[in-house]
Amino acid sequence: MDGRRRHRRERSKVVLSRRPAERQLRGALRLSGIESQVLIKPHSAARLRQSSGPRLMIAPRGDRLMLRPILFGLFLVAVVPVVASGQAKGDAKAGKTKYDTNCGGCHGATGKGDGPAAAALNPKPQDHTNGKVMNGLADKYLFDIIKDGGKAVQKAAVMPAASKKLTDQDIWDMVAYIRSLADPPYKAGK
């Protein structure tokens, strides 16, 4: 019975003995406001006496549950920016130069699909200024069609792949430039 009470007490609150190092730690924990989240196990008192300073140990079971939301939050803070950085973070000004060189022959200098080679192509090149169509396409889709060509995304095989000529950053720059051509303007997140 006494063992059960002690175990229940260990899981629910801070358990500290009256040793000087532990009393000092209890005061510091109380001042910092984390006293209820930290547990010094009674069987670790011998280690506390041997060490130069107090040592904290996370208790098994219940107290670990308190750490889960904190660890999940840290995971989100670390991972979400990394994943988001893979999205279209291109520079439209740099993309215009690449677009004019690599896409202008078919899509035209203004992106309307009226370039010098457009008349000979079937199907006709996409009009990048048509916001009703372009705004419905995901950035990743535009990236893939530029990088891997039309055939890779079940579109016209005449759309060449640019993966051998352009870096991924160049392609993201072109995606940003294509987004700037759309009328009505593209709004991210829609």
Q: In this predicted structure, what is the pLDDT of residue 136?
A: 93
Q: CATH top-level class for 92-181?
A: mainly alpha
Helix (H, G, I), strand (E, B) or coil at 75: helix
Q: In this predicted structure, what is the pLDDT of residue 174?
A: 95
Residues in the chain: 190
Q: CA 11 to CA 9: how far, in whole Å?
A: 5
Q: In this predicted structure, what is the pLDDT of residue 81?
A: 59
Q: In this predicted structure, what is the pLDDT of residue 36?
A: 46
Q: Which residues of the chain have pLDDT under 50?
A: 9-17, 35-38, 40, 48, 54, 58-59, 86-88
Nearest to 181 by CA among 119, 113, 102: 113
For residue 184, say if its preceding peptide bond is cis, omega within 30 degrees of 0.
Answer: yes
Q: In this predicted structure, what is the pLDDT of residue 62?
A: 53
Asked if 10 contacts 41 with a C-beta cutoff of 8 angstroms, the reply is yes
Domain ranges (residues) in the chain:
2-84, 92-181
